[in-house]
Structure 1
Amino acid sequence: MKRAVFPGSFDPITRGHENIVRRAASIFDEIIVAIGSNSSKKSMFSLEQRKQWLEEVFNDIDNVKVDAYDGMTMDYCKKVDAGFMLRGVRNGSDFEYERTIAQMTKFMAPHLETVILFTDPELSAINSTVVREILRNNGDVTQFIPSSIHVTAP
């Protein structure tokens, strides 16, 4: 079985995240969208809220599951028997960062392959950090998040 983990904080999920998962769903037998705890980030939204949004967004795709984990992503991939880590890239800066992570992962977990998909061009400017900033200032983020969910600042 070709199982992939798509890790992230999804704080909140964006249309870019959705784009990557929907396109990758035809490549893998199963994708686990995995909410990781990031020690360098303080989340705006609770884990429960983010999990609920992900389940709503992907409830129409049978081979996409949602989960949460602590620790290193490669350890989680091993735990769920995933041979692939799926990553989304918006631009050159993202690519350089993801390349470094992929190379370190390959060194530490040779069994794990990183698959990188580029977001569709019209979504390349969207990122969760900017969405959170818009929310903090009472802005409208509907064009940046999946249409099936409603996000307001906590």
Structure 2
Amino acid sequence: MRIAIYPGSFDPITNGHIDVIERSLKLFDRIIVAVLKNPNKKPLFSVEERVEMIKEATKHINNVEVESFSGLLVDFAKIKNAKIIIKGLRAVSDFEYEFQMALMNKKLDKDIETVFIMTNTRYSFLSSSVVKEVASFGGCVKDLVPPHVEKKLKEKFLESIKR
């Protein structure tokens, strides 16, 4: 069985992420979406909220699991018996950082391979950061994220306005 890990912060998951997951399943038997617990970042959503949103967003897709992890990605991959890391690329600007990370992961574990999946052109501008910024100003993110994520974003920013 070819198991691949799709890591990220997914704060929040976007339609671009879902596109990468769906297309990756053409190459791999099982995808583990791995939500990173990064103490250096200040996410909008908690790890638990992100995991739940991803589970809801991928419930229509077979062979997808969603988990959170902390520490080194290669250690998590080893625990999950995965040898492949999937990284989505939007533009050349993403490549330099992701290439550096792929080489570091390879140095840490010679059996790990990184597969880069180019984003669908309709999502090439899309990032979680852009979605959060637009949503924070009350802009429409309808076609950028699943409906339940759009609702969560509205709720989250309504909370912050009330404080």
Give TM-score, length-normalised by structure 1: 0.94
Deviations 1:99-135 (A, max 9, x none): 1111111111111110110001110000011111112
Q: Hey, what's the Cα distance between the residues in 2 that align with 1:54 and 1:45?
A: 12
Pairing of 1:1-154 with structure 2 (within 5 A): 1-147=1-147, 149=149, 150-153=151-154, 154=156
Q: Secondary structure at the match of 1:18?
A: helix
CA contact (8 A) 1:5 1:32 kept: yes
Shift of 1:138: 2.0
CA contact (8 A) 1:88 1:119 kept: yes
The list of structure 1 runs, each at least 4 consecutive aligned residues, that deviate by more than 4 angstroms after superposition, is none
CA contact (8 A) 1:84 1:113 kept: yes
Q: Hey, what's the Cα distance between the residues in 1 that align with 2:145 and 2:114?
A: 25
Structure 2 unpaired stretches of 5+: 157-163
CA contact (8 A) 2:6 2:32 kept: yes
Q: Secondary structure at the match of 2:41?
A: coil
Shift of 1:146: 2.5
Q: Hey, what's the Cα distance between the residues in 2 that align with 1:54 and 1:87?
A: 16
Q: Secondary structure at the match of 2:152?
A: coil
Q: Hey, what's the Cα distance between the residues in 2 that align with 1:62 and 1:122?
A: 24
CA contact (8 A) 1:18 1:146 kept: no
Q: Secondary structure at the match of 1:85?
A: strand
Structure 1 unpaired stretches of 5+: none
Shift of 1:147: 4.3
The letter for the 1-side match of 2:124 is: S
Deviations 1:27-73 (A, max 9, x none): 11110001011233111012222111111111122211111111111
Query: Which structure: larger Rg?
Result: 2
Identity within the alignment, %: 38
The CA RMSD measured in Å over matched residues stands at 1.3
Give TM-score, length-normalised by structure 2: 0.89
Shift of 1:151: 3.2
